[in-house]
Structure 1
Amino acid sequence: MSSSALLPLIAGSAAVAGVARRLRFSAPLLLVAVGLAAAYVPGVPTYTLDPGLVLPLVLPPLLYTAALDSSYRSLRANVRPVAMLSIGFVLFSTVVVGLIVYAAIPGLPIAAAFVLGAVVAPPDAVAATAIARRVGLPARVVTILQGESLVNDATAITAYRVAVAAALGEGFSWGTAFGEFLLAALGGTAVGLVLMVPLQWARQRLQDPLLLNTFSLLVPFAAYAAAEAFHASGVIAVVVVGLYLGHHAHTVDFALRLQEDSVWRMVAFILESTVFALIGLQLPVVLRALRGYSSAELLGWALLVLGAVIVVRFVWCWPATYLPILLSSRIREREGVPEWTRPFVIAWAGMRGVVSLAVAFSIPETVDDGSPFPGRELILYLTFVVVIGTLLLQGLTLPKLVRLLPLPEVDPQRRVLIQAQAQNDASLAAVDRLDQLLTDPRNQLPEALEQRLRRVLERRQNGVWERLGAAVDEETGESADAVYRRLGKATIAAERDVFVELRDSDRIDDELLRRLIRQLDYEEALVDHAEE
Structure 2
Amino acid sequence: MTPQQRFLLLLVLVGALAVALGLISRRARMLPYPIALAAAGVVFGLLPGGQFPRVDASVILLAFVPGLVFQAALTLDLQELLRRRWAVALLATFGVAMTVILIGALTHLSLGFSWASGILLGAILAATDPIAVVTLLRRLKAPAGLAAILEGESLFNDGTGVAVFSAVLATILSGVPSFGGASIRFIEITLGGAAIGLLIGFVGLTLLRFAEDAPLEILATLVIAYGSYLAADVLHFSGIVAVVVAGIVVARYGEQIGRLHGSQLLGFWNLLAFVLNAVLFILVGAALPAWTLLPVAGTVVIAFLIMLLTRAVPVYGLLALASYRSPAIPWRWRHVTFWAGMRGALSVVWPVASPARDRPGRQASMPVLRCRCQAHRKARPGTPPKPGPGTEGCRVCQG
TM range (shorter): 0.7 to 0.9
RMSD over aligned Cα atoms = 3.3
CA distance in 2 between partners of 1:5 and 1:167 (Å)? 42
- Residue in structure 1 matching 2:336, options 345, 366, 370: 345
1:287–1:381 Cα contact (<8 Å) kept: no
What do residues 206-249 of structure 1 show as CA deviations (whole Å, max 9, x unaligned)? 12443333222222001111222333222122112212222344
CA distance in 2 between partners of 1:148 and 1:117 (Å)? 17
Give the aligned partner of residue 11 of structure 2: 7
Amino acid at match of 1:94: V
Give the aligned partner of residue 299 of structure 1: 297
1:10–1:270 Cα contact (<8 Å) kept: no
2:284–2:349 Cα contact (<8 Å) kept: no
Counterparts in 2 of 1:243-392, with a 5 A limit? 243-250=248-255, 257-283=262-288, 285=289, 287-288=291-292, 295=295, 298-325=296-323, 331=325, 334-336=326-328, 338-362=329-353, 364=355, 372-373=367-368, 376=371
Listed as ranges, the gaps of 5+ residues in structure 1 are 384-532
Q: 1:92 to 1:375 in 2, by over 3 A?
A: farther
Give the aligned partner of residue 23 of structure 1: 27
Give 1:5 shift: 6.3
CA distance in 2 between partners of 1:323 and 1:104 (Å)? 30
Greater relative contact order (Cα < 8 A, sep 6+): 2
2:225–2:243 Cα contact (<8 Å) kept: yes
- Residue in structure 1 matching 2:74, options 59, 68, 72: 68
1:305–1:382 Cα contact (<8 Å) kept: no
Give the aligned partner of residue 84 of structure 1: 90
SS at match of 1:362: helix
Matched, 1:96 2:91: no
Percentage of identical aligned residues:
26
Give the aligned partner of residue 164 of structure 2: 159
2:192–2:237 Cα contact (<8 Å) kept: yes
1:187–1:227 Cα contact (<8 Å) kept: yes
Matched, 1:205 2:210: yes
Amino acid at match of 1:142: A
Give the aligned partner of residue 59 of structure 1: 65
Higher gyration radius (CA): 1
Give the aligned partner of residue 184 of structure 1: 189
Matched, 1:143 2:148: yes
Q: TM-score, normalised by structure 2?
A: 0.81
Give 1:132 shift: 3.3
SS at match of 1:335: coil
Amino acid at match of 1:141: L
1:154–1:236 Cα contact (<8 Å) kept: yes
Give the aligned partner of residue 122 of structure 2: 117
1:98–1:113 Cα contact (<8 Å) kept: yes
CA distance in 2 between partners of 1:73 and 1:342 (Å)? 19
Give 1:374 shift: 6.7
CA distance in 2 between partners of 1:381 and 1:354 (Å)? 25
1:9–1:274 Cα contact (<8 Å) kept: no
Give the aligned partner of residue 241 of structure 1: 246
- Residue in structure 2 matching 1:129, options 129, 134, 138: 134
CA distance in 1 between partners of 2:40 and 2:129 (Å)? 19
CA distance in 1 between partners of 2:199 and 2:331 (Å)? 41
Give 1:381 shift: 12
Q: TM-score, normalised by structure 1?
A: 0.62
Give 1:309 shift: 0.6
Q: 1:367 to 1:261 in 2, by over 3 A?
A: closer
Q: How many equivalent pairs are there?
A: 368
SS at match of 2:46: coil
Amino acid at match of 2:182: A
Counterparts in 2 of 1:478-489, with a 5 A limit? none
1:95–1:117 Cα contact (<8 Å) kept: yes
CA distance in 2 between partners of 1:237 and 1:193 (Å)? 8
